Structure 1
Amino acid sequence: MDVSAAMEKMSLKGAGKCLVCKGSCSGLQPHSWRKACMACGCSTVDHAPESDLEDDQRMGRLFGDSPCSHLTAKVKGGGGLRMYKRNRMIVTNPVVSRKDPTFITTTYDWAPAGLNQKLAMQYMELLPESQRPVSGTEGALERRRQLLRQLPVYDQDPMKCQSLGSQEEVCTMILFVKQFKQEVLGVGEVALPGEGGALKEAAAQRMAKEVKDHSHKTDAVQDQNQSATSGTTSSAVNGTNDKTEYVSKY
């Protein structure tokens, strides 16, 4: 079994549990065209897999070939498949009491990338408590529902968009996806007032480095081609001179 097939099997294992019906749903049975489960009638966004693998694959496809590609990692042997490097945050707070010290650990399924824990916690505290992505809470589930609604797979993959009627429309969508990845994706930033812009500057530096590296590789290839062409021309000229000298003798 290849890597991609194994990962798909892992993502389907235990998948389909309805978060609304709980145990009354036998598992997600997607409708052929509606965004609903045929078993319980609930929306597909209310059905979640046991692991985050499927979500991380989808986010990896979204962030690939964009200024946010550093938030992903290549899957070894995955044929170019990229996975989202989920930025979880674990906060441990001591409980003050007269007895032995105890600690309360809170795990966030997601936190803004590139922030220290202090600033990340300031961000979380500004969110309504019911919307904080704490693992196992309604806030974490609601964040996942929002992502599924805002980032459906057919918005970034022409093969999943059934309404495209011609190859021209497919090519147009590919160009559109490429454009929004380069110009729109990842423009948001978490920062204190007056301290923004660091994320955008870092992305610009990464893009400049990639362009520079590509330019160096192109120049190297051109130099090799020119050297090969010069060698071939020199050999041809020498061969012509030798022939001319030979003929002149007779």
Structure 2
Amino acid sequence: MELEKETKKMTLGHEVGAGAACLKCKDKCEGFELHFWRKICRNCKCGLEDHDVQMESAENKKVGRLFEDTKYTRLVNKLNTEGIPQYRETLSALSVASGLATSTNVPAAVPTATGVPAGVRTATAVPARVPTSIGASGVPTSIGASGVPTSIGASGVPTATGVPTATGVPTATGVPTATGVPTATGAPKPTGVPAATSVFTPVAVPAKKDVVKAIAFEWAPPVANLQLAVRYIELLPPEKRPITGTQGAEYRKHQMARQLPEHDQDPSCCHDLSPKEVQLMQQYVRKYKDEALGVGDLKLPEEMSSHAAQAGGKGGLEAGTHAGAAAGPGHVDKGTATLGKIGTPAARGAPDGSPKGQTYSCHRCQQLMKEGEPAVFAERAGYDKLWHPACFVCCTCTELLVDMIYFWKKGKLYCGRHYGDSEKPRCGGCDELIFSNEYTQAEGQNWHLKHFCCFDCDCVLAGETYVMEKDKPVCKPCYMKSHAVHCKSCQKPIDPEAQRVSFGDDHWHAEPHCFLCSGCSKCLIGQRFMALKGKLFCSVECKKKILG
């Protein structure tokens, strides 16, 4: 019954993104219209991620299903309304230094906090309808219930504004008093003069160079130490930082669709699977959830030995020796995190319990990990392996693992797509993994028998002539109509099976009536010729005759 239920509910969600404009093709696309099994737009052949579609909800549900029934349930919310697991949004905004914002071209719409010079006080949140201001003396004042401004005196007792204050209370330099005469700092205020009868006017101050900005992120590592998360993002290539409204946000969107295809995990997103294929796919999904799927975590290299000890030494620490080991006990190598093997007693001068001279290096680039800098840890890989944030990539496509979601297999990191490719053949037509025993191979790709079709008109190509156009098979009629090059002489399309002559971007039928001299009409097949301005010439004389 379960298999029948899975088979019956299969759908490709044709209503999602319908009519959305293509961001690549612009006006050439009439709007997104999903092909019924290719996972692309019928009109422009681009993917859904290339169209102006808000995909956050679909992405959250997709990753939610991926993590369902795994140890990563902390990243999943159960939706009571739909019963669909959803990816928990980890973080939406962080306060960061202006350097991060500058390098990533944050949109002007992102709110920012204005920096102020040291010593200038900033307003704090207070209950509604109780405004506060800074009095002339630098003491905060508030409006009391009676409407009379009050200030907090030295004893903590509020005093009504307008009542003479105690002699000796200093006032801010250059701030006018009620009489309009400024008083020097530290000078006693004359008795009987109101403390602050005028409303304090904020003074505009120049912004500092290191302005703190609140930046919205599409995603950030779900760690308690927010500064560690910010530093992780700073260490990514600028064009790949997931900051809302930037190139990095678009990069994440594309990688989410590319690396984690929904049809690799959910049979209902596949086209026309048999009950047996649904069962095999469910077994495949269960296998990678149990054996390969993981989510990277951020760690400080200098803390890894304690984490490994708490975990019982799983994976072991195979720390490499650093050249600084010869410096002797107590030597500290600045800029690198020194770590020893689990259970090894600390050398003298090693307060963290790690002998000096043993360090972590990045598992990919082999460069030393710097102390205090975030490193990516993959639990399935063991405690002896760490990666720089920019080095945590798929071993096949070398792209950043989106949201640090990885698949571990035989000592290598994979994205979801390429892990699937290492386990099953993938159809070049529908982009789905093939779970049937029968399929065909052509042009270096694998195909469902029913999906080896013309990329333009979907006609079956078994036993038919076809042409590969951008790695996609196209039938001969569609090739002649949409893809064939045209003869420079007769302007007709050139048959893919016909002989032709090409020179630069120009093409001719290899026929006497097409490939001939523009001056004397001599056939140039097998002869020397010159091509100028789209014309052929057998000699300089013919060139001068036509072109002068």
> With structure 1 as the length reference, what TM-score do the two structures score?
0.64
2:45 to 38, 41, 44: 41
Q: Distance in 2 between matches of 1:60 and 1:21?
A: 31
Task: Give structure 1 regions of 4+ aligned residues with deviation exceeding 6 angstroms.
Answer: none
- Residues 132 and 140 in structure 1, CA contact (< 8 A), matched pair in contact too: yes
Comparing 83-92 with 96-105, greater Cα deviation is found at 96-105
What displacement does 1:121 show? 1.1
What displacement does 1:124 show? 0.6
Q: Distance in 2 between matches of 1:15 and 1:139?
A: 25
Q: Distance in 1 between matches of 2:91 and 2:31?
A: 28
Structure 1 residues 51 and 33, CA, compared in 2 at 3 Å: closer, same or farther?
closer
| Length, aligned pairs only | 190
What displacement does 1:173 show? 1.6
Structure 1 residues 92 and 188, CA, compared in 2 at 3 Å: closer, same or farther?
closer
Comparing 120-129 with 12-21, greater Cα deviation is found at 12-21
Q: Distance in 2 between matches of 1:51 and 1:33?
A: 20
2:299 to 191, 211, 233: 191
Q: Distance in 2 between matches of 1:91 and 1:187?
A: 21
Q: What are the within-5 Å matches in structure 2 for residues 50-61 of structure 1?
A: 50=54, 52-61=56-65
Structure-2 residue corresponding to 1:180: 288
Structure-2 residue corresponding to 1:152: 261
SS of the equivalent of 1:18 reads coil
| Letter aligned with residue 105 of structure 1 | A
What displacement does 1:75 show? 0.8
1:91 to 91, 94, 100: 94
What displacement does 1:149 show? 1.0
Comparing 177-186 with 98-107, greater Cα deviation is found at 98-107
Q: Does 1:170 align with 2:174?
A: no
- Residues 15 and 49 in structure 1, CA contact (< 8 A), matched pair in contact too: no
Q: Distance in 1 between matches of 2:228 and 2:116?
A: 27
Q: Distance in 2 between matches of 1:162 and 1:14?
A: 19
| Letter aligned with residue 168 of structure 1 | K
Across the aligned residues of Structure 1 and Structure 2, the Cα RMSD in angstroms comes to: 3.2
Q: Does 1:113 align with 2:222?
A: yes
Structure 2: 5+ residue stretches without partners = 1-12, 97-112, 118-204, 312-378, 380-548
Structure with more relative contact order (C-alpha pairs < 8 Å, separation 6 or more) = 1
- Residues 45 and 149 in structure 1, CA contact (< 8 A), matched pair in contact too: no
Structure-1 residue corresponding to 2:76: 72
Alpha-carbon displacement from aligned partner over 1:132-156 (angstroms, at most 9, x marks no partner): 0000111111111111111111110
| Letter aligned with residue 51 of structure 2 | H
Structure 1: 5+ residue stretches without partners = 1-8, 205-250
Structure 1 residues 162 and 38, CA, compared in 2 at 3 Å: closer, same or farther?
closer
Q: Distance in 2 between matches of 1:14 and 1:25?
A: 12
- Residues 73 and 83 in structure 1, CA contact (< 8 A), matched pair in contact too: yes
Q: Distance in 2 between matches of 1:65 and 1:23?
A: 44
| Letter aligned with residue 277 of structure 2 | E
- Residues 36 and 44 in structure 1, CA contact (< 8 A), matched pair in contact too: yes
Q: Distance in 2 between matches of 1:131 and 1:152?
A: 20
What displacement does 1:12 show? 4.2
- Residues 241 and 249 in structure 2, CA contact (< 8 A), matched pair in contact too: yes
| Letter aligned with residue 177 of structure 1 | V
Q: Distance in 1 between matches of 2:69 and 2:19?
A: 29
Q: Distance in 2 between matches of 1:34 and 1:125?
A: 37
Q: Distance in 2 between matches of 1:34 and 1:68?
A: 31
Is the radius of gyration larger for structure 1 or structure 2?
A: 2
Alpha-carbon displacement from aligned partner over 1:44-79 (angstroms, at most 9, x marks no partner): 33125235111111111111111112111111132x
SS of the equivalent of 1:50 reads coil
Structure 1 residues 185 and 57, CA, compared in 2 at 3 Å: closer, same or farther?
same
SS of the equivalent of 1:175 reads helix
Identity, in percent, stands at: 36
Structure 1 residues 81 and 45, CA, compared in 2 at 3 Å: closer, same or farther?
same
Q: Distance in 1 between matches of 2:282 and 2:250?
A: 31
Structure 1 residues 187 and 50, CA, compared in 2 at 3 Å: closer, same or farther?
closer
Comparing 20-29 with 171-180, greater Cα deviation is found at 20-29
SS of the equivalent of 2:301 reads coil
Larger strand percent: 2
Structure 1 residues 180 and 34, CA, compared in 2 at 3 Å: closer, same or farther?
same
Q: Distance in 2 between matches of 1:117 and 1:60?
A: 23
